[in-house]
Structure 1
Amino acid sequence: MIYLALSILSSTGIFVLFKLFNKHKVDTLQAIVVNYITACCCGFIHNSQPVNFSEVMTSNWFIPAICLGFLFIVIFNVMAITAQKNGLSVASVASKMSVIIPVIFGVWVFKESVGFKKITGILLALIAVYLTSVKAKEAKASHASLIPPIILFFGSGIIDTSINYFAPDDSIPLFSAFIFCFAFIVGSFLLIYKSIRLKKSFKLRSLPLGITLGLVNYSSIFFLLKALRIDGLESSALFTINNVAIVAISTLVGLLVFKEQISKRNWSGIALALISIVLITLA
């Protein structure tokens, strides 16, 4: 269970770092690009075998790794926006309640059992995402603030499902490295575009937090995949334990460290999130 505990701590660290980006006025995209090249290097360094690029390009996970790299850069930016605009707890809940997507995928593709508890848990999860995403001041305002958490919800679920499905058991560091590599390439093009169009230069303050984020980000993926490969531990149970722990710890950090204000509506959403995860786990 040490892999699961390390994955939980690493994933919580990602949300905390995103919050620090806003506090220290770090350019989010620049730090994210630095993060991906750092995580990519970690994967190649951690890979114990020589890299045969011809074999990699013909492997059944190469194309999915390209797609995941593109998705990573998009969802990471959305995650940062959600943490900064909606709050740490909202970002963590919207991201980690996406556990229902791997559950649905398991039922549809792997023909896993489905019952009243599981269906109820999925419905409660959707309600929870809405309740935790709406701030007290925004209850009567435009629903535009809900767009980032909703995108984060579905994007994170697709990423979790795809990583678990496509990751090769014997090449986890290499698989992770290529995903981060493609994310870095996409992010670099975005940076070049912004520098030309908006004349924004690269700021050195993006390096320290970007490198730190890269180390934490790689750890979260690596330890999660290692935990998913433990015999006798079902992925549905692991995802739920992983996600509910991240939600709880992120919310606690948001309250104690960043002094975030949590309304009764938000608390009810968080409570529903925990109940839904428990129901899905029991199912």
Structure 2
Amino acid sequence: MIYLLLSILSSTAIFVVFKLIKKYDIDTLQVIVVNYFTAFTCGALLYSGNIQPSEIIESDWFVAAIGLGFLFITIFNVMALTAQKNGLSVASVASKMSVIIPIVFGIYVFNESASLQKITGIVLALFAVYLTSLKKKDHTVLTKSIYLPIILFLGSGVIDTSINYFAPSDNIPLFSATIFAMAALIGLVIVGINLLKTKRRFKLKSLPAGITLGIVNYGSIHFLLMALRAENTESSTLFTINHIAILALSTLIGLLLFKEDISQKNWIGIILALISILLVTLA
């Protein structure tokens, strides 16, 4: 379970970096682009062979990697818009609830087990997502721009499912690097247009933040794929544990490091998250 643990820690670190970006008023879009270039570099460095562009283009997963790169940066922007128009809680619930898509895919397409204990754990996990995501000061408006949380839900679920389905077992670093390279190129175009329109300059403080984010972002994908490929655990189980553990750990870090308010419902959500992890793991 070491790969799964590293994926959870890496994904939780993403939450911490984003908090620090907001605290120190660093340009988020610039950080995101640097992050994708850094993540691409990590994948390229971890790849043991010589990178041949022709081999990448001819691979079975190249088209999927292009699509995923586009989805990565598109869904990030949709998440930002959802938070702005519908509230942080709606954005959080929509993105985290999307775990049901790869879970159902694993059960029906990969014929994974669906015992009563496992299904109970998954249902409790969804309740945990909702309760843990509720914030006291967040004024959610679900009916306003309802298409945004729907797109966020579907897009996040498709990303998780596609990464699991298309990733080659013997070439995870190069597959991941290609996805991040595509996202970086698209992001570079967006940042370039943004800089021309606003006449703002690229800020040097975006570099260390982007590099840090890129390292942990790559780790979150790389270690999750390693867990899905290397460990004798079903994808529906791994995705449930991964998402719920990240949610619970991020909430606790928000309390301890950033002095965030945690309501009674949030605590109930954390408890349900722990129960759901035990149920799904032991199933």
TM-score range, shorter chain: 0.7 to 0.9
- Could you tell me how far apart the structure 2 residues matched to 1:104 and 1:96 are? 15
Change (3 A) 1:244 1:130: closer
Question: How high is the TM-score relative to the length of structure 2?
Answer: 0.84
Contact 1:176 1:221 in 2 (8 A): yes
Distance 1:148 1:8, change over 3 A: farther
Listed as ranges, the matches of 1:165-204 within 5 Å are 165-204=165-204
In structure 1, stretches of 5+ residues that fail to align are: none
The 3 A distance-change label for structure 1 pair 127 and 149 is: farther
Q: CA deviation at 1:278?
A: 4.8
- Normalised to the residue count of structure 1, the TM-score between the two structures is 0.84
1:214/1:24 Cα in 2 relative to 1: closer, same or farther (>3 Å)? same
Question: Residue 200 of structure 1: CA displacement?
Answer: 2.6
CA contact (8 A) 2:103 2:240 kept: no
Q: Which residue number corresponds to residue 264 of structure 1?
A: 264
- Provide the residue aligned with 2:243 in structure 1: 243
Contact 1:43 1:174 (C-alpha < 8 Å) held by counterparts: yes
The answer for unaligned runs of 5 or more in structure 2 is none
Distance of 2:112 and 2:18 partners within structure 1: 36
* Distance 1:180-1:62 versus aligned 2 partners, 3 A rule: same
Q: Is the alpha carbon distance of 1:203 and 1:231 closer, same or farther for their aligned partners in structure 2, counting shifts above 3 Å?
A: closer
CA distance in 2: counterparts of 1:279 and 1:81, whole angstroms: 35
The yes-or-no answer on 1:253 pairing with 2:264 is no
Partner deviation per Cα, 1:148-182 (whole Å, 9 max, x = no partner): 77655443322221111111111111101100000
- In the alignment, is the contact (CA less than 8 A) between 1:21 and 1:28 conserved in 2? yes
Identify which range, 112-121 or 232-241, moves more after superposition. 112-121
CA RMSD of aligned residues (A): 3.0
Aligned position for 1:225: 225
Give per-residue Cα distances to partners, 1:52-89, cap 9 Å, x unaligned.
Answer: 222211221101101110111133345567899738xx
Q: What displacement does 1:112 show?
A: 3.0
Q: Which moved more, 1:268-277 or 1:210-219?
A: 268-277
- C-alpha displacement of 1:48: 0.8
Seen in structure 2, the aligned counterparts of structure 1 residues 9 and 113 have a Cα distance that, compared at 3 Å, is closer
Identity, % of aligned pairs?
63
Q: Structure 1 residues 54, 46: CA separation in 2 closer, same or farther (over 3 Å shift)? A: same
Shift of 1:124: 4.6
Instruction: Give the length in aligned residue pairs.
Output: 279
